[in-house]
Amino acid sequence: MRTIDAVVRAAGERLHPHVLDYVLGGAETETTLRRNREAYERRALVPRVLRDVGSVDLSTTMLGTPLALPVVLAPIGSLSLVDPDGAVASARAAASAGTTCVVGLMAKPGFAEVAAAVPEPMACQLYVRGDDRWLADVVRRVEDLGYRSVHLTVDSAVYGRRVRDLVNGFSPREAADRPDHAGQGGPRGAAYQAALTWDVVDRLRAATTLPIVLKGVVSAADARLAVEHGVDGVYVSNHGGRQLDYGCATLDRLGDVVSAVAGRAEIGFDGGVRHGTDVVMALALGARWVGIGRLQALGLAAAGEQGVRRVLDLLAEEMRSAVALLGSRTPGDLCPEDVTTYP
């Protein structure tokens, strides 16, 4: 597979149509999904010339964890639908490429199995679906397993209406409401999640000394609140366009969030990423690292662990070329002036 498009084609040939719809689909009319992708098409990169770009270094860090490239594998709870090794295969691919994986609490194999299989620094993503006792138990397990940070997803107060799945009668939520994931004496599972407020960030902060990333922020006001509540990272994401229909493209919101955070927290980003140039745009507009979700799942579907590794290698090749042609040598050299927007 010499190109990312070839990876995508291979995945489409291997996946059951209902699973492919689940991977590719978005909420309702899929307007948010389309906007995520269209945001890149409305922008252009501005090359610079006669600069020394003989050596390009893509390395960076995510909350202190070294990364060979500024791309991480975003959390996906249903990776086992596309490959039986699921999150273990993705995590191994990330480790072999010198980057990291954000492992979902609902991943299969589970986050404990992933940690045992891949003794490399990783992050753990969670939904809070229980009381303080539940939270303390989960955080203790995350810490004991050696995870380096906690990514709290906050854009899923309710489950988005994904029409492709509804039409197909497909429900891959992977037991999200299991009683064993809820606290004692209160609402359980996803119902608990719908009642959360900013207090949950304070509760998580009190429960752990690990860095906390708030995932699912597109509002500048929410970004400011996140920093005020002591988070270490703000992750600009709209859940891949799978939650709110007619929402904003994440790339369109990135600049406002960066301005609101004003250097007080690291900025992560995802949404519509298909090529290395997309990653470069996000970095130029202020992201420190970029997550891939669908592209990860498609790589896994195409060729398992090696398919995900191939996606990461292709992204790195494309990024290295784009960074050099912009007259830069590192991700930190990129700046907003490297990107222009068409009227």
Please identify every residue annotated as catalytic: 239
What is the CB neighbour count within 10 angstroms for residue 286?
A: 20
Cα 290 to Cα 95, 228, 274: the distances in Å are 16, 23, 11
* Beta strands 60-62; 212-217: pairing state: unpaired
Whole-angstrom distance, CA of residue 135 vs CA of residue 128: 7
* Beta strands 149-153; 289-292: pairing state: unpaired
- Packed helices 250-261 and 276-284: angle between N→C axes, nearest 10 degrees: 30
CA 236, 10, 70: angle at the middle one, nearest 5? 30
Q: Which residue has the tokens 């404990």?
A: 112
Element (H, E) at 266: strand 266-269
CA 79, 81, 85: angle at the middle one, nearest 5? 60
